[in-house]
Structure 1
């Protein structure tokens, strides 16, 4: 009679099936438990409503925060077509409509499941500050139109408001230092120099400033577990566009029909309207009586004379503090490196003067040469630049140099401490990232995704399956047991 194969018995088959199931279960548990966890991200949107234009920035950060401060990174920016919202005072509904295209981009960039929880903020700066001073009711109507448009978005709209100059300067300082990882690592901080169209800000930490001499210029921050006492001041009307108005107002006080402007290139010739020039709170009280409707603006292209005209809009004689910058404003001694951004960067980059290792005397010589270049030649060299902007670079470069050296007291020794910057690690330099970073302290952190099983449970299951497989392995050797027992013994 044929001997039955012990490997084909029902018990052996059952053991084999159980073993395969156990192995599959062990592999499945291990894969699920150790798979990479998807990172949760939060999003925030900030609209920077400046004097000359509006820009939208999208930020994201991991839902789990470091020391209660989210690690914020810029993922997208969108420049709104048209001028700043303050320019729509006579047609406020267009202020809201102008934001539509960028808001549509934001809807596509932020994951749909995050729309409802993504905060949306609009901060208006010096342009709206001036409009609010000039006509507060017009300012309110513009804001109402903007808010109405933003409330229709799928995001969590948190309101639109005018930032104070102090806030604008302080959040710009946060941005520069955050992007350089100086806050997280507790390193020496970098000062911030911001130049817009209607205002300019200077912010830095000084060992000689405790806020007692000028409390209105003191701001305290707590970020990444560290405390910072910051000096900051914003000069309204000293952005480059309003500064140009003040310089032109200085030259048209007598209401002439023609001015020969040393801050514009030789051969420059434009007819300009007196009412447009003086249509700003920065100069409106200086409009000459009995002036003609227009004046002819001619360029002379003389850097040294331009310096004198630019200096005339600063007051360096009055100071009731131990030390001042200009216009009687307290400023402690400059300390540490500085990052200069916004119009500082764009103007100096155009003039090829962003390298601050170039001595100040050489910078002055380069500006002297540039300003004296005939207007026709300048237009031929830069055919792609809008004529309005191109015409103003001589003035803007001279103004920046005067503001830094005469206004803020940078010297030949400290000027190299300035770094002109546009972006840092992919994020635009400006107040918006600092604003978003500060706001994340008020947004609750989410718990990170966790593995399906707690660690102890995972270890227990793996151990039980491993023991089961071992037992099954021993049982699977059962057909060999009788043979081993029947081996002849040697006596």
Structure 2
């Protein structure tokens, strides 16, 4: 190779390397930045069922609170964990299918750091079962009734996008099998410290009224109501309980322990062991009998709900979920006025049991038989207990999901816990955008200068060669 071409080769090599560097930097700088997620698992071990919820949120958080969303839910087959007291090993085994689903839904590299929370009392065998999975078992703790109500409030307001913008909030009404909760931001001073709870979310502080009534979930309320009827009825008729809260034509043999087998009814005692449960289908009488489980005659505060519990006047819109929704939705009563709801419910309760069964052949008859009582109980709880009226009945929204997430306490629980889970630094580009643009501009300018130098060198060499020929 002639010596006069060496500078050209060097220049061209430099230009080629420069172009390669520009392409590499451009590819790295503009590659998609994948969102890193963290995950959490919450087990809702209720009185009648157990559900496993999987949540995810960006690893980098906003105002120290993760943007949590529900990724997956799995309902454990069978009854609640508490039903396994006689077979503890069965409780842990019952979770296997749902926990295996969790392993599939959560990326394997996130398994060791994914916290697992059990928001209820737990048997030792359940704890051992959860520890066998590749997640970070955080132990079990008892969720107090007040916490359950407050976490439910967090859930409905988070999903309604009320926490990250200066808007009003929704009150929360939760109804389970064993208890019920009411939580809202009151307009009045909270006179009882037992009913006050504070949260800080997305940089904002919230001061809530909340109360949980144990034994006033729909299943335990049914036992309470039946227990009171049995006490008064079986003294005169020891073999038959005529119940206005069950459909006419309904007849089922029962035993007294069926009713008096829970802590909520343990103080009620009867000598008779067997009776025939007979339905009457009288809604107004049913409501009168249900009212007897609420004590509204005592109150040492300016105002109370029932059983002497302080409650300020309900204020604003409310989201009613869990059994509130499932019962009212089954009866198509989620959007009617209070008066219309009562009319429809009275007609439903008076429908013969045979017709009810014929209309719903695939529903377990035990659950089907209880809808009249459950719906009447819900109306009585909301109206006589929580003091809703025909004027603000429209403020109650019966909800199952908001978006793709279930309304309930577990999401609020996970959301609150993300305050305590460290954030990760987000993936960043190779250089800031402004620096990237500046670098590419000057690098491109340098390549153009090199090209110009090559051109000038060739041009000069050509003219020199022509002069030598002449």
TM-score by length of 1: 0.90
Deviation (angstroms), 1:5: 12
1:19 corresponds to 2:15 = yes
Q: Which aligned runs of 4 or more in structure 1 are off by greater than 6 angstroms?
A: 483-488
1:182 corresponds to 2:159 = no
Partner of 1:81: 77
1:380-395 equivalences under 5 Å are: 380-395=358-373
1:26-425 equivalences under 5 Å are: 26-124=22-120, 142-209=122-189, 211=190, 213-254=191-232, 255=234, 256-288=238-270, 290-291=271-272, 293-355=273-335, 358-425=336-403
Distance 2:347 2:396 in 1: 23
Distance 1:55 1:193 in 2: 19
1:398-477 equivalences under 5 Å are: 398-453=376-431, 458=436, 461-463=439-441, 465-477=443-455
C-alpha contact (below 8 Å) 1:186/1:226 kept by paired residues: no
1:141-180: per-residue Cα shift (whole Å, max 9, x none)? x522211111111100001121110110010001010111
Distance 1:338 1:30 in 2: 52
Deviation (angstroms), 1:186: 2.5
Deviation (angstroms), 1:194: 0.1
Distance 1:66 1:109 in 2: 24
Deviation (angstroms), 1:459: 5.7
Distance 1:36 1:182 in 2: 31
Deviation (angstroms), 1:429: 0.5
Deviation (angstroms), 1:12: 3.1
Distance 1:21 1:329 in 2: 79
Deviation (angstroms), 1:455: 6.0
Deviation (angstroms), 1:484: 7.2
> Is the partner of 1:116 in helix, strand or coil?
helix
1:184-234: per-residue Cα shift (whole Å, max 9, x none)? 10211100000000000000001202x3x1000000111111111100000
1:253-288: per-residue Cα shift (whole Å, max 9, x none)? 153211111100111111112112100011111121
Q: Which deviates further from its counterpart, 76-85 or 462-471? A: 462-471
> Is the partner of 1:437 in helix, strand or coil?
helix
1:417-445: per-residue Cα shift (whole Å, max 9, x none)? 00000011111101000100110000111
Deviation (angstroms), 1:10: 4.4
> Is the partner of 1:183 in helix, strand or coil?
coil
Distance 1:344 1:429 in 2: 11
Distance 2:187 2:339 in 1: 30
Deviation (angstroms), 1:461: 4.8
> Is the partner of 1:182 in helix, strand or coil?
coil
Distance 1:227 1:461 in 2: 45
Deviation (angstroms), 1:483: 6.2
Once superposed, what is the RMSD of the aligned Cα atoms?
A: 2.1
1:278-324: per-residue Cα shift (whole Å, max 9, x none)? 00011111121x21x22111111010110111111111111111000
**Structure 1, unaligned runs of 5 or more:** 129-141
